[in-house]
Chain A
Amino acid sequence: MKMAAKTTVLNLTEEEFVHPGNRACSGCGLSILYRIGLKALGRDCIFVVPPSCLTVMQGLFPIAATQMPVLNGTFASTAAIATGVKAAMRRLGRPTQVVAWAGDGGTSDIGIQALSGALERGEDIIYICYDNEAYMNTGVQRSGTTPQGSLTTTTPFSGKSEVGKNLPAIIAAHNPAYLATCSASYPLDFHDKLLKAKQIKGLKYLHVQTPCPPGWGIEEHMTVALGRAAVETGLFDLYEIEDGRMQLTGQSLQQLGNTGLRPVREYLEMQVRFKAFSDEQVAALQAQVDQRWSGYRDRFK
């Protein structure tokens, strides 16, 4: 596994690619990701974006809140549109990176077929899924990645009864050139994984957990704290898969030696969306996390 570049707050570029005064909600996790992600990607990029909060955040005609070239497309076709743009770049002899940037609904549900096709063809694109764990742009409806027990407007009262899709595992089964999980609360980790992805040929998939204040029922200032709690409780793990090998990274790697992670209850209790979670459900979830991390300790020690 290649050594990742280590960017720090101090050497992170001051160049900005997003304008202030955009339409993202106050405290938006995606805004942090997008702003720092663009610093890693640089200007020689073309973005492909399906309907999502990012569509709105990037600006309403005729004003673009982003400074990047963007092709907005239909919901189901993000990876296929990116394929077409990349094919055009090859025809034009340009090294321009093509970056598909979609939400969890656009990736795990309606866009999964086009993404699966692009993965199978090994398209040379970066695909970023910012996973805020529901259809936030339309007002918090359940998506394929909405976790079990989560309240949404289409899983009211008792929360979603089904287990959310493990989307990175679905992607990993396609053997992508590079896969990484990231969190909006660790933007430098995301930044450096993007730097790495830029150097790799083939399909690079980055799955980013992205707290959403209105959707998760948290106060706006808690966005970063929430994402951190998800990682520190072991609920959301930061890792990379390269050449078929999985490796924990960043905070998840650091906490591998800890015997006691923060209890999942801490994370759940910070959010309104888990208000319907019963004690039994919390205990079951904790047992799942403990088992997974016990596996990690055996595997990666």
Chain B
Amino acid sequence: MSKAIIESGNVAAAMAVQLARAEVIAAYPITPQTPVTEKLSELITAGRMDAEYVAVESEHSAMAVCIGAASAGVRAFTATSSNGLLYMSEQLHWAAGARLPIVMCVVNRGIGAPWSVWNDHQDAISQRDAGWIQIFAKDHQEIVDMTLKAFRLAELVHIPVMVNYDGYYLSHTYMPFEPPDAERVDAFLPAYQYKHALSPEHPESLNTVTLPDARLDVQGVKRGGYMDLRHNLHEEMGMAIEVWEEIDRDFQTHFGRGGAPVTDPYRCDDAEVVIVAMGSMANQFRVVVDRLRQDDGIRAGVLALQMYRPFPGAMLARALQSAKHVMVYEKGLSYGSQGALYGDIKSALYPYPSRPQLHNFIVGLGGREIPTESLYQTTKTSCAPDRILPPAQSDVPQWIGLQL
């Protein structure tokens, strides 16, 4: 068995990329992602990792390099945060439409303006419709394990994967975790192969202009138009949930860890109040849940959502419909509307007969501190029998921790 080490979340990510034998790394510095790329360039320069490190001049180019390498059949990785992710936005859509299995760590950070280097989830949420699989880690061990599993998922379904973890809360804190054994990783993660890899022996023109309608190819076979290709992306992205579970089961047989790849419930079995959150905040809620049960006799639980896109709507609906209250805490929102995750959960529950009382809380934007005490008080107050609000009020997100 591997021994646990104590390192930062960013180093944990870099170690996973090293173990995954990514061959082309292209990155541009941005806080708080920078230590990932510093570590990777150090590993490569020191000869401890056999890969190409391309020090590009922008995030747009970082993703471009990954697109070029992955299109040629070579495993590629990058990492970014915040405005860096937004600067890549066009390339994100391109990578997904081209079905390239690029893996990227996104060290979540608030978006400017105004500048903030601190954590929230608005960067990832703003790119949720790019066609990328989005997963969220909540501790250092998950950063390592999810990143490794992400390569296998991406290369199986041929859709790029964003591994999200919280800036500073996870990226810069030092925690114990077990780096997986390199030989076992090799057994778990086969080499990347791409049927359309750029090659002079089998010349194809990739990402050509595609007409609205289907068209015959040179052999007379009908090939889909743009909409058909996009439908296939949507369908196969939906299938990634099941594949992610399969990969997790296989990961368990290799490494003995896992078991909750899509949603990770804590004390949810008999819960009347279920909190839903993504990232490190879901772990913070475990303390809240314990206290609500112990001090207040409230049967509370927390459901960590690990996979945000594809959205496991049916799975969430099953998990949540027997609760009385579902409280969605998020670090990002669709401005002028609601929390993005809240809207998704509400729509997932709509087809089912039993719908819990839903609550939406916006917390921690731009690194605003999220005291556990305040999560406890908010949750406790919101599920009090005398606090049932009429729909028009309950459907409005409450901002927690405002100072003005």
Contacts and interface: CB of A to CB of B under 8 A. Distances in A.
User: Are A and B in contact, CB atoms below 8 Å, in the complex?
Assistant: yes
A46 B198 contact: yes
B199 interface: yes
B68 A74 contact: no
A83 B217 contact: no
B79 to A, nearest CB: 16
Contact of A69 (B57, B69, B204): B204
15 contacts: A44-B200, A56-B209, A63-B217, A69-B198, A69-B203, A71-B198, A74-B64, A81-B64, A83-B61, A84-B69, A87-B54, A87-B69, A87-B74, A88-B72, A91-B52
Given A60-B208, A83-B68, 15 more contacts: A56-B209, A58-B208, A61-B209, A62-B215, A62-B218, A70-B204, A72-B206, A80-B60, A80-B64, A84-B66, A84-B67, A84-B69, A84-B72, A87-B24, A87-B68
B210 A61 contact: yes
Contacts of A59: 205, 208
B175 to A, nearest CB: 33
Nearest to B53: A87
B58 A114 contact: yes
Interface residues on A, range: 35 or more
Interface stretch (A115-123, A155-163, A188-196): A115-123
Contacts of A60: 208-211, 215
Given A62-B215, A63-B217, A91-B74, A81 B205 contact: no
Contacts of B70: 84
Nearest to B91: A74
Nearest to B57: A117
A85 interface: yes
B8 interface: no
A90 B205 CA distance: 21
A212 interface: no
A92 B201 CA distance: 14
Nearest to A55: B209
Interface string B69-109: 11111101000000000000011001000000000000000
Contacts of A252: none
A33 to B, nearest CB: 18
Contacts of B207: 71-73
A114 B61 contact: yes
B133 interface: no
Most chain B CB atoms below 10 A, which of A48, A60, A117: A117
A263 B110 CA distance: 60
A165 to B, nearest CB: 19
Most chain A CB atoms below 10 A, which of B55, B76, B205, B215: B205
Interface string A170-202: 000000000000000000000000000000000
Interface string B224-268: 000000000000000000000000000000000000000000000
A96 B200 contact: yes
Nearest to A44: B200
Contact of B24 (A66, A74, A84): A84
Contacts of B71: 71, 84-85, 88
A84 B218 CA distance: 30
B17 interface: no
Given A67-B203, A71-B71, A85-B71, A117 B56 contact: yes
A43 interface: yes
A58 B62 CA distance: 26
B54 A61 contact: no
A61 B76 CA distance: 26
B200 A71 contact: no
Contacts of B24: 84, 87-88, 91
B144 interface: no
Contact of B205 (A44, A58, A92): A58
Most chain A CB atoms below 10 A, which of B23, B68, B200: B68
B54 A121 contact: yes
A100 B26 CA distance: 19
Contact of A117 (B58, B205, B208, B211): B58
Interface string A85-125: 11111111000100000000000000001101100110000
A268 interface: no
B154 interface: no
Interface in B137-176: none
Contact of A84 (B51, B64, B223): B64
A229 interface: no
B36 to A, nearest CB: 19
B58 A87 contact: no
